[in-house]
Structures are given as structure tokens and as C-alpha cells.
Amino acid sequence: MQTGFYNPEQVLNRDLTIIMLNLLKPRLFLDGFGATGIRGIRVSKETAVHSVISERSEMSFKLLTRNVLLNRSDAEIHWSSFEEMVTRYDFDFIDVDPYGSIIPYLDISLNNVKNRGYIGFTATDLSALSGALPEKTLRRYGTIIPRSLMRHEFGIRNLIGTVARRAAALDAGIEPLLSFWNKHYYRIFVRVVRGAAKADETLKSIGIVKLPELIGKAYSDEVAGPIWLGKLENIFNSKVEEQKNQFVLEKSLNFFYALKNEDISLLFCDVGEIFSRYRKDIPNLKNAREIAINNGATVTERTHFSPTGLKIDYLRAFENADK
């Protein structure tokens, strides 16, 4: 079995986890996929949360133990599987960061997190979530996702919708607090609230998106769903501007704050894609914003889901781009 390794591509993931823990202030955190221990060690050193780390591989656990000692961390460590560890304590924050899909770990994490506690999910099966492999998307997630440059927002909403439907089946509801895409993974943080009433309320935010009605006739008869239609970034109801941490990179903080723009609209307009579909010259983003304002939009902001994407409060603005 391969020994755990430090993954520099996950720095943003770990930084935003630290930010969220300092905002949410849970009591007991579980990193059940410990590997080298870097996430759990950071939690123990950079937050006031008690950190528990487990790892099932004997070789990785030895490396994890060494790293905890080297860093003088007070993290609690266990040579144990996620499935075993998650049932030992009453965790109010569970981090689920497996390789690939979260599906094998979904029910056990939802069932065992404390009521009104939190789960952070990291998914790396982007091809299935974003519709690049339609048969796999339907088989694994029960959804249809059209091919589009909006695929990563579709993927995030597909992931949240899957968690929400499964939580509802277990008589619980969820509230997404922070959601983002970075390179090879999606990351979502949700609050879990038990009870049939909350489950029913959550299901009201799941549905089908008809792209011609939402964005315009350039998208013909394309539909997506069932996916999450609600807000992605509810954490910004808190006083997040006060967050500072000497260990979190400035670019990670800037990325975090920019995510509040994602709830300007359900989906976004990819300028290159939509103007290509209308067979018109593709403007730069500055000119695209002017076109949107001239056609009824009042807010235009960049989205992290695409370098040529805009979140605007009237998505059909580009349908009349020639007027």
C-alpha cells in the first residue's frame, strides 16, 4: 500500500478549511483520511478545535505519527479506518476527503455527524459530476448534465444536490455554507440539521434547470438536473471580513472573499460560449459587461468557475446582444 504523501495542490483546500473552522468554531474535528496528517496538524495548530486524525494504512500511520511529533501537535491520532473512527466520538465537524467519489462515505458521515454539525466534502470525480461521462453521471448521481463551459458550477450543484437528497432520505436537511472548484477537485462545506421538516425544506431547493428559459434560446432545449438550485455560499451571512490568519496565504483569503459573488445568480454566462452560440464576435469581459448592462443587467461580477464567465443578475441579457 502506498504511503501517504503531501499534496501541494491542496493548499487552497486546507487554507479554506482553516478559515471555516475559525468561523464555525466546532468542538471536535475528524480528519478520517489522515495520510501525512497535514490537514489535522494544521487544525490543531491554527484553530481552537480539538483535532482527531485517523489513517488505515500502517505505513502512512507511521509517517503521520512522526509528523505529529515533529510539529509538536496535540492532535489525537488513531490507526483506524474512517468507517470505524467516525462512530467513536460525537464529532461536530467531519472532513471527508477520499480519492474519487464521496458516495461510499456519504451515508456514514451524514448519520454520525452531530446534529447541526458540519461536514466538509472533497470530490475528485469531476468527469462524472460535471457530465463529461454522461452514463457515469446518470449511474452514480442520477442526474443529467449538459456539455457546457458552465460544467463546474453544474458539477458543484450536482454534488450538493446528491448530498441533499441523501440527507433527506435519512430525515435530515443540509445548508451549503461554502462551495468551490479548484483544478482537480470540488469542495463543499455543509451544515446538517436533523428532522423531517428540515429535510422537506431542503428538497425544495432541488430541481431541473431549463437553460433556454434561464439564459436564452442559444441553449436550445438543454436541461440539467436534478441539481441544487439554492445558494452556494451561505457563510457570508457571517462577519467574514474579520478573518485573519498568519498561516493562511493571502491569495487563499482573496479567493475566499471572492466566492460571495457566486450567489448573484443561478449559473453564469460564459462570454465565449454564449457569443459563439449566437454566432457573434466574442467581446472581452469589459465590453461584455457593458453589453449586459445595456440589455437589462445591473450587476456583473467575475466567477471562479470560468476565466470567461460572468455572474449577472439578468442572465438573458446577452440574448439581445445585437440590439
Domains of the chain: 8-260 (3.40.50.150), 269-320 (no CATH)
Instruction: Calculate the average pLDDT of the chain.
Output: 94
Question: Letter for the amino acid at 86?
Answer: V
Higher-confidence residue: 104 or 241?
Answer: 104
Burial of 234 (0-12, 13-18, 19+ CB in 10 A): middle
Cβ atoms of residues 34 and 60 within 8 Å: yes
Q: Is pLDDT at 200 greater than 50 in this prediction?
A: yes
pTM of this prediction exceeds 0.85? yes
Q: Give 57-71 as a DSSP string.
A: -HHHHHHHHHHHHHT
Residue range 120-178, pLDDT digits in tens: 999 999 999 999 999 999 999 999 999 999 999 999 999 999 999 999 999 999 999 99
> DSSP assignment of 192-206, as one string?
EEESHHHHHHHHTTE
Q: What distance in Å separates the CA atoms of residue 140 and residue 236, rounded to the nearest whole number?
A: 31
User: Helix 103-112 and helix 151-169: axis angle, to 10°?
Assistant: 50
Tell me what pLDDT residue 124 has.
97
pLDDT digits (tens, 9 = 90+) for 25-64: 999 999 999 999 999 999 999 999 999 999 999 999 999 9
Quick one: pLDDT at residue 222?
Answer: 95
Tell me the pLDDT tens digit for each residue of 270-313.
Answer: 999 999 999 999 999 999 999 999 999 999 999 999 999 999 99
Task: Quick: pLDDT tens for 297-306.
Answer: 999 999 999 9
* pLDDT beyond 50 at 1: no
